[in-house]
Structure 1
Amino acid sequence: MEQTTAVPREVWRRWVWTRGRVPAALAVLTAGLPVFHRVVPNSVGRVGSLLETFLPWLGLVIVVLFGWALLRRSATALVALLLPTAAWTYHFGGLLLPVGGSGPHDLVVVQHNVSDENTDPAGTARALAAVGPDLVALQELVPPALAVYERTLAPDYPYHAVRGTVGLWSKHPLTDARLLDIRPRGVTEPWSRGLRTVVHTPHGEIAAYVAHLPSVRVGAGGLASSRRDESAGLLGRAVAAEPLETVILLGDLNGTVDDRGLAPLTSRMSVAQRGFAFSFPAALPMARIDQVMARSATVPHIRTLPATGSDHLPVAARIALR
């Protein structure tokens, strides 16, 4: 009969701790990305912005590495995974915390790129109004759908302003509506994607901005976002020059709040404190590019609403006024 030899305990311990160095090294690398993502250069293919667009999905990388570490029975890799887990939790864990109760000076707003190919604008308008928001911001408004939105929203939202392809519907009076020029250089065709107006709420005047920044594309050369970045800079300067203290920005910004391309806005305004609210693409949401930001106010929570006839999901947010 063949006799088997037991592995000495010391050899077993050394084996468990020395194997799995590759997943351990990847865990350490993954830990650095949420914390030091701005170190990743943007000079070639805007790799930094591309990483920042999908930064929350590093959580899936951690799960894969955890499974790898278990298969390898590597104590070293399991211990190393504590680093990316802590980094991800520090950066994104707050978005998962329970939502607190609403305050006495809150507004509810809805932001939605309704799509210029939406075949059911009336149904989309009814779905947004059913949430009961104070403000509804829409992008990609084109005739004849614009008339449908105006007619359908009118009973609940007697005040509205439209400039170009963006508009705002409100339960509160609007004044001083004007076109906001955020057109990047080189765009010669008609291009009106910015609106600024004043909302007269029971709690005071608020400057409301509605914007639709240029689209970005991911290709072999990386992320094409130069026009989006330029438009974000123009919008950021407009917000900085706004004389009213309280500002709300609603829009399809074609970027996440971690994307450095939106730094002209995120450096001046607060973003949502709770909720991931991935809004695009509607069929398989991978990122929140529809944003609600505020100055001299906070955005305690943001969430997605059920799909409409658009390729974006609507998002609803609560604004806490100071």
Structure 2
Amino acid sequence: MTAGARDRHGPWKRGPVPAALALLLGLLMLLHAWITDRGGLGSLVETFLPWCGLLVPLLLAWALWRRSAAAAVALLLPAVVWLHLFGPLLGDRSRPGGGDLTVAEHNVGDANPDPSRTARDLAASGADVLALVELTEQAGGTYEKELARTYPYHSVQGTVGVWSRYPLSDTRPVDTAIDVGPLASAKPAGVRLASNRALRTTVATDHGPLAVYVAHLGSVRLMPRGGFWTDSRDRNAQALAEALATERNERVVLLGDLNGTTDDRALDGITARLRSAQAEAGAGFGFTWPATFPMVRIDQILLHGVTAYDARVLPATGSDHLPVVASVGW
């Protein structure tokens, strides 16, 4: 369309398509909780919800090209909704003074080519309590050997483990009703994963006992048929939420790869009880996966009864996930 053709229409009549798309984008972000989760559609939208903000400048460029006042005004809806949802995450929310305890979590990856180096990097992070998930039988001994000098106390339950500078007690597996489902054939040849993927322990800190949960919820996949497959993850999340509901300790930290963001409705039973350390004291979104180009934060440090003073993402290791660390205080 030429400029002369556009000039025959007023600015409020130009660009009906970008105006309509802007309104739909705003409604998508505003009403995302109402999207059906059949086939995991709701979870898929909520997982990548922050990236909807990239569509706003694209639509704005379209509106300017069309010289459409209607489209420009319509873009106020998605812009305001996005800023309301994610604007607070853009700045640095760390607190001065530091915390009393540093905790870290890492999905070390079942295909990690150098577990020794990964273990040394994690030991150098300064974490007092370190949680590892996706431990294989082949690499488990390597992590135990490399971390022994820094962490005198540790426990491994299936594919998850906790290493600590402080004594551990009442350590036990947590039944999260693991269902491997269609992922059983997706593991690399020769890699063996144990069945248990969650544990609970008590860390005897200088400020009193701290209940620590370590979990690796079931994976999600885009399936050729059935859409965004989340069945195992959703069942695991419900079981973990039920375990947390019975926790008697007033101070709780959950460290794990939850295969979901804190915006994902599947984790509502968990996030209703625990707060995100990244949202409370991090800088930016803190995306952790995939390590080569992080797009989502599925590795979480969630808290109850303690305060986050700092939260950040650590440099890449040999895993396809990035490690996360947080300083917490009483």
Report the CA distance between 1:288 and its aligned residue. 0.8
User: Residues of 2 paired with 1:79 and 1:53: CA distance?
Assistant: 27
1:201 aligns with 2:196: no
Q: How many Å apart are 1:301 and its aligned residue?
A: 4.6
Q: Distance in 2 between matches of 1:267 and 1:214?
A: 20
Q: Which residue of 2 aligns with 1:183?
A: 177
* Residues 111 and 314 in structure 1, CA contact (< 8 A), matched pair in contact too: yes
Unaligned runs of 5+ in 1: 1-6
Distance 2:317 2:89 in 1: 25
Identify which of 2, 14, 19 aligns with 1:19. Answer: 14
Give the aligned partner of residue 238 of structure 1.
243
Distance 2:304 2:218 in 1: 23
Percent identical: 50
Give the superposition deviation at 1:104: 5.7
Q: How far did residue 257 of structure 1 move?
A: 0.7
Structure 1 residues 88 and 140: alpha-carbon distance in aligned structure 2, compared to 1, 3 A threshold: same
Distance in 2, matches of 1:102 and 1:152, equals 33
**Cα deviations by residue, 1:175-207 (Å, 9 ceiling, x for unpaired):** 111111112468799511011000111111110
Give per-residue Cα distances to partners, 1:90-118, cap 9 Å, x unaligned: 11111112233344644222111101111
Match status 1:162 vs 2:156: yes
2:145 maps to amino acid: R
Q: Which moved more, 1:97-106 or 1:159-168?
A: 97-106
Within 5 Å, give how 1:1-322 maps onto structure 2.
15-42=10-37, 44-103=38-97, 105-184=99-178, 191-220=195-224, 221-271=226-276, 272-273=278-279, 274=282, 275-299=284-308, 301-321=310-330
Q: Shift of the alpha carbon at 1:304?
A: 1.8
Deviation at 1:234, TM superposition (A): 0.6
CA deviation map 1:212-231 (0-9, x unaligned): 11111112421111111011
Aligned-pair distance for 1:14? Answer: 5.8
Assess, with a 3 A threshold, how the Cα gap between structure 1 residues 62 and 205 changes in structure 2: closer, same or farther: same
Deviations along 1:64-122, whole A, 9 cap, x unmatched? 11121122121221122121111111111111122333446442221111011111111
Q: Which amino acid aligns with 2:313?
A: T
Q: Which amino acid aligns with 1:191?
A: S
296-305 or 206-215: bigger deviation? 296-305
TM-score by length of 1: 0.90
Between 294-303 and 312-321, report the one with greater CA deviation.
294-303
Q: Retained in 2: the 8 A contact 1:270–1:298? A: no
Deviation at 1:144, TM superposition (A): 3.3
Separation (CA, whole Å) in 2 of partners of 1:228 and 1:57: 22
2:33 counterpart SS class: helix
Q: With structure 2 as the length reference, what TM-score do the two structures score?
A: 0.88
Deviates more, 1:312-321 or 1:52-61: 312-321
DSSP-derived class of the 1:18 partner = coil
Stretch deviating more after TM superposition (308-317 or 49-58): 308-317
CA–CA separation in structure 2 for the residues paired with 1:125 and 1:96: 31
The alignment partner of 1:52 has SS state of helix
The DSSP-based 3-state class of the residue aligned with 1:17 is coil
